Amino acid sequence: MPHRDRYLFICTNRRELGHPKGSCAGSGSEPLVEALKSALAKQGTAKRVRACASACLDLCEIGAAIVQEPDHVAYGAVTLEDVDEIAAAVSEGRIVERLVVYRGRRS
């Protein structure tokens, strides 16, 4: 089974409009999946880093949310303008500090 050095899990969960928790799809997360896949492919790192659509990561209020593993950090309020910076950072084993909304014990 191929295993990547790093993974980006992009929440694409969608809730009905007006739901108090909001949702990442409602905050524009769906286009982030293909944009990140494309950015990783363009820089030649798609074999080492994988971008995956995810179900709810329980970070709904700060969506669009992305979790980067194994660094165990969560990014919030991600937009298409952040994609190139995230792709470059993850490929170099770095974190985009300005987007971090949660940091686990491993980072």
Give dist(CA 39, CA 48) in Å, integer.
Answer: 13
Q: How many residues at the interface with ligand FES, by CB under 6 A?
A: 11
Spatial separation of the C-alpha atoms in residues 81 and 14, rounded to whole Å: 21
Over its C-alpha atoms, the chain yields an Rg (Å, rounded) of 13
With respect to ligand FES, which residue has the nearer C-beta, 46 or 71?
71
- Could you say which of 36, 40, 46, 65 contacts ligand FES (CB under 6 A)? 65
Using the rule CB under 6 A, is 8 a contact of ligand FES? Answer: no
Among 40, 46, 49, 60, the residue binding ligand FES under the rule CB under 6 A is 60
Question: What are the CA-CA distances from residue 44 to residues 2, 18, 102 (Å)?
Answer: 16, 40, 28
* CB of 5 or CB of 58, closer to ligand FES: 58
